[in-house]
Amino acid sequence: MKFSPYAWAKLIYLRDRGTTEVGGFGITDPGQPRFVKDIVLVSQSCTEVTVAFDDTAVADFFDDQIDAGRHPEQFARIWLHTHPGRSAEPSGVDHETFARVFGNCDWAVMFILARNGATYAELKQTGTRHSEPLSVGIDFREEFPGSDQTAWEGEYNQSVQETVLSPIWDMDFMPGDEPYLSEQWPWLPI
C-alpha cells in the first residue's frame, strides 16, 4: 500500500490536529487501487478510542463520488483512521467494524496511523479466511502538490466532532498500548 506525499501529509495533519481518533476514506485512481492519492473525511463523532461516521454523511459521500465518475474501488475500499497513542494495532472494535462494514466487498483495506508514526495495514479479500498484512510506503516518483492546511482545517472542522472522554487522560498511554483496555478500565466506553 502506498500513499502520495500529499495524502500522507494530509493524514499526518489530521492525526495531529486534535486529541481524538479521526477516520476517513482513501481516494485512488483506476488501475492503482492501493495507491492513496487523497483522504476524505465525512461527518463523524470521535473520542480518544472511537470514530463513528454519520450514516447520512457516508451516503452523501458515496453519491458525490459516483457523481464525480469514480467507482467504489476508488473511494470505498480503503478505510483509514488514526490512533492518538503510540500503537497502531487495531482494537477488537476495529476488527469487528472492518468485518461488518467491509466484509461483503471483493477487497478492502484497514489502515491505522498512530501518533508516533507507527502504521498498521491489512488487506481482506473475498474467498480468503485471513487478512493479509500490507507494507506501507510513500511514493515520491511523481510530481505532487504541496500541502493545503487551510482546506484540511476546513474539512476537519466541518467533519470532526470531538468528544473528550476524560480530562485525566494520559497522552503517553493511549488506546492500543494495552490489548485489554476495556478490562483494565471497564467504565471506559470502547
Identify the burial level of 97 via C-beta atoms within 10 angstroms of its C-beta, where 0-12 means exposed, 13-18 middle and 19 or more buried. Answer: buried
CA distance 69 to 17: 31
Q: Is 123 helix (H, G, I), strand (E, B) or coil?
A: strand
Domain encompassing residue 74: 2-184
CA distance 42 to 53: 7
Domain count, the chain: 1
In a domain, 189, yes or no: no
CA distance 108 to 100: 12
H-state helical runs in the chain = 5-17, 55-67, 72-75, 92-102, 149-159, 181-184
Q: Is 100 helix (H, G, I), strand (E, B) or coil?
A: helix
In a domain, 176, yes or no: yes
Quick one: pLDDT at residue 189?
46
pLDDT tens-place values along the chain, 190 residues long: 999 999 999 999 999 999 999 999 999 999 999 999 999 999 999 999 999 999 999 999 999 999 999 999 999 999 999 999 999 999 999 999 999 999 899 999 999 999 999 999 999 998 777 889 999 999 999 888 889 999 999 999 999 999 977 654 444 444 444 443 334 444 444 4
Quick one: pLDDT at residue 169?
46
In a domain, 66, yes or no: yes
Quick one: pLDDT at residue 142?
86
Quick one: pLDDT at residue 166?
64
Quick one: pLDDT at residue 23?
98
**Following DSSP, what letter does each residue of 36-55 receive, concatenated?**
E-EEE---EEE-SS-EEE-H
In a domain, 147, yes or no: yes
Pairing of strands 160-162, 44-46: parallel
In a domain, 70, yes or no: yes
In a domain, 85, yes or no: yes
Provide the CATH number for the domain around residue 10: 3.40.140.10
In a domain, 190, yes or no: no
In the numeric block, the cell 487478512 is attached to 131
